[in-house]
Structure 1
């Protein structure tokens, strides 16, 4: 029968529950016997029984030698990182994380043993090994707020990659809201008055930030706007809805979906950007000379990963105390002019951008 212990179980708590000293717990965990000290088998068995009942996971950082940590950084992804459809999202992030870890002389440990429920990994389970690493980087479009709260309450050393609304969770994110607003405003300044927004079906903070950017960019503008959730599986229906609304500006969140819609426009003889401008709220890291040069946001995902590693290293360093501003920061998101945004043929650019 397991014992209920709030937060992260420590050696001190194990010692109190077993009725022994913390030094004794340490000796049992490390399998060592100090010269002149003999631990009775009954005592050893009692300590091991408490460890099993509390689901204690030994923290390697508790066994640091001469103040040096283990130089192991964990990486936990809520969505599987390696399926083909995830490569565009995770590849630059993991490259940045790897570069940051190399600079620190640290190893990376990818947590993959956690169960997947409804396409998303569960951070906490009966055999979680989070404490095998000195600290953990959290990746994913959506994260479980209850699990993030548990990390805060348990004193885990973590950094989320991407903005998170859960109080107390350190993060390094991208300022999608401001960048989206700037890109949409730039398009409307050219005279576009009918806008179709094809969104991603997710409740992640980055997705909500883009939505907010579109709202801010179109606020106080005399524009007609229509929106819907679109995927690669629904491109035909999405294109039909776009044609029915007859926009001059198409705002697409997913680069893959934008490419499919561009092909649909070509098949139907719709000139881009003459008849229809397309702006994309993201960018593929695997662009080739044959790809469409979309007017788009270019999220600095490699820098994001590296900066997240840097923040985690500061949190782990007992000689550093990152400020609240440093603990939750956003990177600027560049805009690529591209070749798919132009003034609509029926309108001249507006110097004021409002009607």
Structure 2
């Protein structure tokens, strides 16, 4: 047996009784190998590779096919501080699972910029070490997104993104549909005085919710909109009561928790006195006095499908796709019939 340290594709081909081109095809293009090489031959080559401990030279493979089988992952915000754990962890889990399933490694790109000022195309970035890149973040740098769209480097955005000089490939959540469904449910429960607590944008995930909320109102006047949630929850509650709102839609779970707590301290009951709805459920369980009506965001599946889409774009020059995954409703216990208003 040839020493494993000096094994080449030529050695593997000789041991398997096939051509070097056949070995190269098995190593570098699993899809083509499955259709052009008999299964028995392919399995014999793979068996010899396993038994000899052969490891393909990544530089040679890059020269042969231009692939390192590495997916880059870039996040505009730090991915691992506890404050971001609920947001990023499920995406990364889905990405990791799909990368492992398709025999790709992951490269977390962190060197271009610091903290909240990260840039994909910062000085000294190592983007090209990866065959393509997945881009995550609550809000993207529009100039960088436009540069990615106009270039030839494969990428996929996790989350819906507006056009940036062209269509952006993405896998996102259908937040608009889920928001409209919750508004329709509130209206069917007799709520006509609806309030909205949270910004209108500028991130697409936020603006999708706001636009869908307004459209679902079908022209009826909004009871109250509080874009600035930095004020004390007691003040927010005062404004909601003064507006006569019967159902309140929150963009952020934390805001709903704080205002619900303030309401309980005043002896108010949710949903008997006022209904609360949260436009998106965090993955990590939260200790709350009440389970909010909401919808689940399929973050793991978004990461999984985004990684699969990127690999297709790398290996087959797949055309731009834009996928929105459904967000399943969460019944909760905070959306009930509208309280009858006294004249």
Query: Smaller-chain TM-score range?
Result: 0.7 to 0.9
SS at match of 2:133: strand
The more displaced of 228-237 and 332-341 is 228-237
* Mapping for residues 145-224 of structure 1, pairs under 5 Å: 145-165=142-162, 166=164, 167-200=166-199, 202-221=201-220, 223-224=221-222
Equivalent position of 2:54 in the other structure: none
Partners of 2:61 and 2:175 in 1: how far apart? Answer: 41
- The CA distance in 2 between the partners of 1:74 and 1:254, in whole Å, is 29
Deviation at 1:234, TM superposition (A): 4.2
| Matching of residues 278-317 of structure 1 within 5 Å | 278-287=276-285, 292-317=290-315
Structure 1 partner of 2:16: none
In the other structure, the counterpart of 2:83 is 85
| Structure 1 residues 83 and 291: CA distance shift in structure 2, 3 A | farther
1:67 lines up with 2:65 in the alignment: yes
Q: Provide structure 2 residue ranges, at least 5 long, that are not aligned to the other structure.
A: 1-57
TM-score scaled by length of structure 1: 0.74
Q: CA deviation at 1:200?
A: 3.6
Q: State the 1:256 CA deviation.
A: 1.5
Structure 1 position 241, deviation (Å): 2.1
Q: CA deviation at 1:67?
A: 3.4
Preserved contact between residue 169 and residue 322 of structure 2 (Cα < 8 Å): yes
Counterpart for residue 335 of structure 2: 341
Partner of 2:13: none
1:1-355 correspondence to structure 2 within 5 Å: 64=62, 66-67=64-65, 69-116=67-114, 119-165=116-162, 166=164, 167-200=166-199, 202-221=201-220, 223-231=221-229, 234-287=232-285, 292-318=290-316, 321-324=317-320, 327-346=321-340
CA contact (8 A) 2:274 2:339 kept: no
Which deviations, in whole Å up to 9, do the C-alpha atoms of 1:290-320 show, x marking residues without a partner? 55311102111111111100100100113xx
1:288 deviates by 5.2
The structure-2 alpha-carbon separation of the partners of 1:132 and 1:255, relative to structure 1 and needing over 3 Å to count, comes to: same
Structure-2 change in CA distance of 1:230 and 1:86 (3 Å): farther
Contact 2:112 2:123 survives alignment (8 Å):
no
In structure 2, how many angstroms separate the alpha carbons of the residues matched to 1:265 and 1:184? 22
Structure 2 length-normalised TM: 0.76
CA contact (8 A) 1:275 1:345 kept: yes
Q: Any idea what SS the aligned residue of 2:65 has?
A: coil
Q: CA RMSD in A?
A: 2.2
Give the count of matched residue pairs: 282
How much has 1:232 moved relative to structure 2? 5.8
Cα deviation code 1:121-168 (max 9, x no counterpart): 222122111111111000011111111111122211100001111223
Q: Is the 8 A contact 1:232 1:257 kept in 2?
A: no
Residues 175-221 of structure 1: CA deviation (Å, up to 9, x unaligned): 11111111111111111121110014741111110001101111234
Rounded to whole Å, the distance in 2 between the matches of 1:62 and 1:298 is: 45
124-133 or 200-209, larger mean C-alpha shift: 200-209
Q: Is the 8 A contact 2:72 2:131 kept in 1?
A: yes
Kindly indicate which of the two structures has a greater share of residues assigned to helix. 2
Deviations 1:59-78 (A, max 9, x none): x8895265373221111011
